[in-house]
A and B are shown apart, each in its own frame.
Chain A
Amino acid sequence: MSDMATTTDTRLMAGPPSFVQTRPLDPLPPPMKDSGAIGWVRQNLFSSPLNIALTLVCALLIAWVVPPIIKFMLIDAVWDGASRADCVVQPDRPQVGACWAFVIDRIGFFTYGFYPIDQRWRVDVFFALLAFGVGWMAWLDAPRRDLGVIYFFIVMPVLSVILLLGLPAIRLPSVSTEQWGGVLVTIVVATVGIVASLPLGILLALGRRSEMPAVRMFSIIFIEFVRGVPLITVLFMASVMLPLFVPDAWSPDKLLRALIGVALFSAAYMAEVVRAGLQAIPKGQYEAAMALGLGYWRMMILIVLPQALKITIPNIVNNTIGLFKDTTLVFIVGIFDFLKSIEVGRIDPNWATPVTSTTGYAFAAVFYFIFCYSMSRYARYVEFRVAAGDRR
Chain B
Amino acid sequence: MDQQAPKPELKPAPLRTGVAVDMVGVHKWFGEFHVLRDINLRVTRGERIVICGPSGSGKSTMIRCINRLEEHQQGKIVVDGVELTNDLKRIDEVRREVGMVFQHFNLFPHLTVLENLTLAPIWVRKMSKRQAEEVALHYLKRVKIPEQAGKYPGQLSGGQQQRVAIARALCMSPKIMLFDEPTSALDPEMVKEVLDTMVHLADDGMTMLCVTHEMGFARQVANRIVFMDAGQIVEVNAPEPFFANPQHERTKLFLSQILH
Binding site for B on A (CB under 8 A): 282, 284-285, 287-295, 298, 302-303, 306-307, 310, 390, 392
Contact = CB atoms under 8 A, between A and B. Distances in A.
Contacts of B109: 307
A303 B108 CA distance: 7
B123 A302 contact: yes
B119 A292 contact: yes
Contact of B106 (A287, A294, A390): A287
Contact of A288 (B92, B96, B106): B106
Interface residues of B, number: 26
A282 B104 CA distance: 11
Given A285-B108, A298-B123, A303-B108, 8 more contacts: A285-B106, A288-B102, A288-B106, A288-B107, A289-B108, A292-B124, A293-B95, A293-B172
Interface string B84-106: 00001000100110111010101
Contacts of B69: 287, 290-291
Contact of A284 (B88, B99, B102): B102
A292 B106 contact: no
Contacts of A288: 100, 102, 106-108
Interface in B31-69: 67, 69
Interface in B97-143: 98-100, 102, 104, 106-110, 119-120, 123-124
Given A288-B107, A288-B108, A293 B120 contact: yes
Contact of B119 (A295, A302, A392): A302
A292 B155 contact: no
A324 to B, nearest CB: 29
Contacts of B124: 292-294, 298
B110 A310 contact: yes
Contact of A292 (B95, B104, B152, B154): B95
Contacts of A287: 69, 100, 102, 106
26 contacts: A284-B104, A284-B106, A285-B106, A287-B100, A287-B102, A287-B106, A289-B108, A290-B67, A290-B69, A290-B95, A291-B67, A291-B95, A291-B99, A291-B169, A292-B119, A292-B120, A292-B124, A292-B168, A293-B92, A293-B120, A294-B119, A294-B124, A298-B123, A302-B119, A392-B152, A392-B155
